[in-house]
Amino acid sequence: MKKVLLTLALVFASTALFAADKNTESEKSYGPYVTNGFWDNWYINLGAGVNTWGRVDVKNDAVSDKHYKNKVTWMIEGSVGKWITPIFGARLHGQGTYGMTSVSNEKGAFYNTNVDTYSWGQYGHKIGYGLIDVDGMVNLSNWIGGYREDRVYNAVGIAGVGVAFARGRNDANGDWSTNAEFAMSFGLNNVFRVCEQVDINLELKAAMMRQDFMGEGKVGMVGVIPSITAGVAYKFKQRNFSTASAFAAAAVAAAAAEVAPYQDRIKDLENELANANDRADKLAGDLANANKDLKDCKENACKRPKGYGANGANLESGVSYTVFFPINKANITKKDMVNLGYVADEINANPGQKYTICGYADKQTGTAAYNMTLSQKRADNVKKVLVEKFGCNADQIEAIGYGDTVDKYGAQILNRAAYVN
């Protein structure tokens, strides 16, 4: 048995060193960690291996100090566990076998004649064995080296308590006997990462109980069941852990992503407000200029100049009249219709006289091209009223638009006009 255990230990050591060499570099974290939900970080493991039965003399008497050579027997095991943090976890574990054998110098409760004895042994024993225990787990690799999700090899220490069961037949009387003993277990589980979902486990473990668990009845000895098993574990979601700082950063990022559309909308509204303020400032400037023009008009009593350079007409003789328009308008009001009627009487009374209608626009609004079109339309509309409504001869009247090129009345607000002379 010593050769078997030594061989397996050498295999384990070489495998662990190989895994350490192959381990890739990644970011380590030492916590604190965010504890996952109850249903996270669970795994299930199934495996098989070998075990045997041994004894430790606690009385040091000559009889119990015998060297026992017991057979190595195949066994199966399984567990369901959960990692609470990257370092600490717990599991419910079970293992068992049928046909565990031992040889002792006392007959005991499981004396069996078909178990081979040795020259120094008088009685053979053969039993069925099972152990159910609850174990605490400590991931030594994460504890010492920092938590890494992609670490290839993890050393996990195990210690727990449970109940061991033994059942066998005594050939001396034909009776079947069953024993149950309190057991303690400890060991080392070597975990090799295959992928995110799957691990391979190589577990070295020993369960300890009273020696009469095997029915040998020798007081003062402790029974030990050492075992080596290999198994495959499947890990359920959630499989990994986050540090508190990473969790906080993720929460901040999620909150920022949620707030981002509102921040963009706020920026849009700020831009719209800035544009509205600019428009308000411009309108305020336009109003100030209009008020200035109106004040200048009142101070000058809206006096008209004495002549117009385009045709040299004298405004103080003959007909003259100015039609004023609202901003961006060219329509004739009813009030202007009345006054244009007097102008028409003057034109009709002088059939040999030529008359000019001059259209204007203020340069504070609109483009030069637009103002030229608007001033022409104002002049044309005045001519249209004189001809169509009051019967004036169209050949006597010329309509000319000057756009915003002439400051006719010395105030831009008054240049929205058509002048007849």
Q: Is the pLDDT of residue 321 over 70?
A: yes
Handedness of CA 307, 312, 317, 323 (dihedral sign): negative
Mean pLDDT score of the chain, rounded to an integer? 81
Q: How confident is the model at residue 11 (pLDDT cuts 50, 70, 90)?
A: very low
As a whole number of angstroms, the distance between CA 234 and CA 86 comes to: 17
pLDDT at 9: 47
Task: Locate all alpha helices (DSSP H) within 354-397, ordered by sequence.
Answer: 368-384
Closest-CA residue to 35 (of 92, 100, 86, 96)? 86
Question: pLDDT band at residue 30, thresholds of 50, 70 and 90?
Answer: low
pLDDT at 12: 43
| pLDDT level of residue 111 (50, 70, 90 thresholds) | confident
**Domain 307-420 is found in CATH 3.30.70.20:** no
Q: Is the pLDDT of residue 29 over 80?
A: no
| 155 band by pLDDT with thresholds 50, 70 and 90 | very high
Query: In the prediction, which pLDDT does 311 show?
Result: 35
Give yes or no for residue 122 having a pLDDT over 60.
yes
Q: What's the rounded Cα separation, in Å, for the pair 101 and 126? A: 4
Closest CA to 206 of 231, 229, 233: 229
132: which strand partners? 94, 163
Residue 120 or residue 416, greater confidence: 416
Q: Could you count the other beta carbons within 10 Å of the beta carbon of residue 306?
A: 9
The model's pLDDT over 375-385, given as tens digits with 9 standing for 90+, comes to 999 999 999 99
The pLDDT assigned to 43 comes to 96
User: pLDDT at position 174, please?
Assistant: 83
| Rounded to 5°, angle at Cα 154 from 150 and 158 | 145
For the chain, the domains span: 2-242, 307-420
Residue type present at position 130: G
Please compute the mean of the pLDDT values over residues 337-355 and round it to a whole number. 90
On the question of pLDDT at 138 being above 80, the answer is: yes
What are 361-413's pLDDT values in tens digits? Answer: 988 888 999 999 999 999 999 999 999 999 999 999 999 999 988 888 878 88
Supply the pLDDT for residue 14: 43
Q: State both tokens at 263.
A: 């921040």
State the pLDDT at residue 69: 60
Query: What pLDDT does 218 receive?
Result: 56
**pTM over the 0.75 mark:** no
pLDDT at residue 171 tops 50: yes
Higher pLDDT, 239 or 13: 239
pLDDT, mean of residues 176-182: 88
Going by pLDDT thresholds of 50, 70 and 90, the confidence category of residue 291 is confident
Look at domain 2-242 and name its CATH class: mainly beta
* Tokens 């060991």 sit on residue: 187
Confidence of residue 418 (pLDDT cuts 50, 70, 90): very high
pLDDT at 255: 80
Choose between 103 and 205: higher pLDDT. 205
